[in-house]
Amino acid sequence: MKKDNCIFCKIANGEIPSRTVYEDEKFRVILDMGPATRGHALVLPKEHFDDLYEIPADWAADAFKVGRQVAASMKEKLGTDGINLVQNNGEAAGQTVMHFHLHLIPRYRGDGAHILWKPTSPSAEELDAVLAQIIG
């Protein structure tokens, strides 16, 4: 189902034009308008799902299949040295458009893009505590 007033529903379904790098029956992959690096793209499902909690497992799997295919094409055509797949869910995680999307962020040696986190140093007790909470 599409959602009224969702910009990514409109883009994914071609109601708003976009720079499309790949399209099939279920997905459209577009260039991000504020790219972290050259070629930064977004895998958009044509159906509306808010986020990872809502997207059905088969759609999530297919989003990664599409991402994998486009990543391979970027490696060949753009000469990328690596790629980050990023997928934000919830405002706390930096999600700004509430329609599931998978970021494909090509990386180039020395590109200086800021994507990864700063590691913390939790105690063994804290690691045990969080493990117990997750699997408990």
Residues with a catalytic annotation lie at 101
- Closest CB 123 distance from ligand 5GP, rounded Å: 32
Residue number closest to ligand 5GP, CB atom: 34
* DSSP code string of 73-87: HHHHHH--SEEEEE-
Q: Are 36 and 30 in contact (CB under 8 A)?
A: no
Decide if residue 17 touches ligand 5GP (CB under 6 A): no
Nearer to ligand 5GP, 42 or 71 (CB): 42
- The helix/strand/coil state of 34 is coil
Nearer to ligand 5GP, 114 or 133 (CB): 114
Residues between 77 and 116 with contacts to Zn ion, criterion CB under 5 A:
99
Q: Identify the residue among 52, 88, 111, 113 touching ligand 5GP (CB under 6 A).
A: 88
Closest by alpha carbon to 27, among 17, 13, 16? 13
Buried b (16+ CB within 10 A) or exposed e, 57-79: eebeebbeebbeebbeebeeeee
Q: Identify the residue among 40, 46, 48, 103 touching Zn ion (CB under 5 A).
A: 48
